[in-house]
Structure 1
């Protein structure tokens, strides 16, 4: 059997690409489905979740993503190879409408094989998540920032394009079976492994109309998805949060970040609180000793934590519905080596005294501080149903940076 195509048959390379793609697709789709089912279970506050559930979800998503990236590169290689090859003629070219439909579906399939894994890959790169691609080349993509908006957009596109792929695939299979069972021609047999004695196709001319038809269908899919609200999904955590009221303070915070970093299934996930207030009193002492006080209130529902944001808001973790805020009331001290904030931190219904070391740069009436502390989630009853570190590590790193101006 020749490795290249002829007008009447497919070569071995084309057949290998075809069946390898089929194997990968029919592996990736069920993996993604089962992973999503587990994810819905994990995010549902009414369903108890175990560490094994999270670990299995991560493994399934990792396998799905890894196979998806493989599909992307195989599809690109397949398309490049097809561009160098003779295109075997249709055996039913005289049936104009059927031939037009077959070629349109082929173009839909080619586009789907690139767009489905590509949108999934961009979604992965734009998200903070816990299920890595199983390869040594990193988890990011050039020119793709970590962005909740981009993550949600590409997740919606990925979901929409999977439907296009599934429908196109079903039509492709139905067409092949129709040729084999009803028409009893060699359309299917000439794509099977080994040599096939396919007849010479009739003379035919391939027009560009199926390409334009496929583009029009893709446009209709995007417009239809938009009209159905596919792109309007937002995390419940992002929409159910009431903004905190401003507080009176000797020092007014101009800008700052309050970030946390967890480790889930061995992979770091970084997030931040968008809404928090700080009432600060501070006077630089001439010697080590008391320097002021701070009262920080944090809107728990303003946390974004990548793909696990909704899970973090659930009753087993922060339980933002019952405990919408956290609070840190501390006295400020100057030490021999820097500064510390010492006082009770309340998360959920647990309160624990902590010490937050920080650095401070005073320039007249402007102060810039930076501090970090490591907490144990179990000390605050977060994730108590996961007393092991197989899924979520105990340690939670908290990083604070802010710039404040002294009120005259």
Structure 2
């Protein structure tokens, strides 16, 4: 009999390294699953547009999600190490290997678990990297992934894949536990003891016969699960569509050809950037070399068209933008040439509150095309946004508004 604490597998026993990987993986799974469930439940309560989120509730949700993501990343790298170790080791035969139906089922569950150990954390990691939101992974190596853009569509599909992969993991885990209990309570054999520390190799198993059917079946199940998850994610994107409010058609001396109107806020120490999908700008402008009035601008923004990463739904709620009651924001400003460049001064009407703002910007004009870029910082509390979250550490008071656009001078009517 080989020593109890041998490191490598044998034909009849699992080594200490395999046992360590097995129970470490079990610990990570059984930690990640309840953390994810509790965090998701709390996050749904916090992000419900009808609710008023408190600083404490947001902080708890962020912490739980951070722990869930961190455990998930640890599970991913543990799974990779475990798989590399497994392919280098001998696979002990099943004690019930003569029962081909049970042996096939056992191997199928193992193949499903191996796939889940990679696909569940990886899809969650892609979702995290593609999302603009809070709850960072608790490690010093950054939050992004190569080749994964910040994209609501990518995040939606990855999140749905994560959910379906988690369902396969949960089903395979329940089947694995049920099989282990059957070996203990009904078969009363040595199967569970072979994976426990401190136990010897046990009886000699039948000659191992590893058929091709289990991995093929597992592959088909994963193809079906991932296909259904991808289809569901794309369907959710199609059904959701842009939620916009009708904006007035405006005449403009300069027609905007392309541009971006964005806001950035700090939530739990992480920058969350959102963009308005629907906005218009009516611009009247004439160049001048000396300081003084140079024109006017009117910008209308559809509040429901704002996407703000993982907190979009919460941002539309009554305590924040209250998009149902106040679907539009309007800025009417005078364009002034200054010593250093240009600025637009005037009232911003947001959530029914009107406040004077100043937007400094740079301007480059080549022929009939103008390119401008500007930014300013607003206090969200000045517009009664998120008053229930007064703690600056939970949700920053400062909101950076940035605008970049390219406009072309409209054709002048011929005399």
TM-score range relative to shorter protein? over 0.9
Equivalent position of 2:365 in the other structure: 362
**Counterpart check, 1:386 vs 2:389:** yes
Equivalent position of 1:176 in the other structure: 180
Of the three residues 190, 195, 198, the one matched with 1:194 is 198
Shift, 1:219, TM fit: 2.4
What whole-Å deviation, never above 9, does each CA across 1:189-238 have from its counterpart, x for those lacking one? 110111324100012321111100111122232455567x4542249985
Counterpart CA distance in 2 for 1:278 and 1:54 is: 35
Shift, 1:159, TM fit: 0.6
Q: Which moved more, 1:125-134 or 1:356-365?
A: 356-365
Counterpart CA distance in 2 for 1:38 and 1:110 is: 30
What whole-Å deviation, never above 9, does each CA across 1:53-83 have from its counterpart, x for those lacking one? 1011000000000000000000000000001
Of the three residues 77, 84, 87, the one matched with 2:81 is 77
What whole-Å deviation, never above 9, does each CA across 1:154-211 have from its counterpart, x for those lacking one? 0000011111000000000000110111000000011011132410001232111110
Shift, 1:284, TM fit: 1.4
Equivalent position of 1:351 in the other structure: 354
SS in 2 for 1:233: helix
**Counterpart check, 1:269 vs 2:272:** yes
**Counterpart check, 1:55 vs 2:59:** yes
Counterpart CA distance in 2 for 1:94 and 1:55 is: 54
Query: TM-score, normalised on structure 1?
Result: 0.97
Shift, 1:270, TM fit: 1.2
Which of structures 1 and 2 has the larger relative contact order (alpha carbons within 8 angstroms, sep 6+)? 2
**Counterpart check, 1:97 vs 2:104:** no
Shift, 1:241, TM fit: 1.7
**Counterpart check, 1:399 vs 2:402:** yes
**Counterpart check, 1:30 vs 2:34:** yes
Given that 2:389 and 2:395 are in contact with CA atoms closer than 8 Å, whether structure 1 keeps it comes out as: yes
Query: TM-score, normalised on structure 2?
Result: 0.95
Counterpart CA distance in 2 for 1:138 and 1:246 is: 44
Shift, 1:314, TM fit: 1.2
CA RMSD of aligned residues (A): 1.5
Given that 1:238 and 1:302 are in contact with CA atoms closer than 8 Å, whether structure 2 keeps it comes out as: no
Runs of 4+ in structure 1 over 2 Å off = 45-48, 219-227, 229-240, 242-246
Counterpart CA distance in 1 for 2:79 and 2:194 is: 20
* Structure 1 gap segments, 5+ residues each: none
Change (3 A) 1:224 1:250: closer
Q: When the two structures are aligned, how many residues end up with a matched partner? A: 407
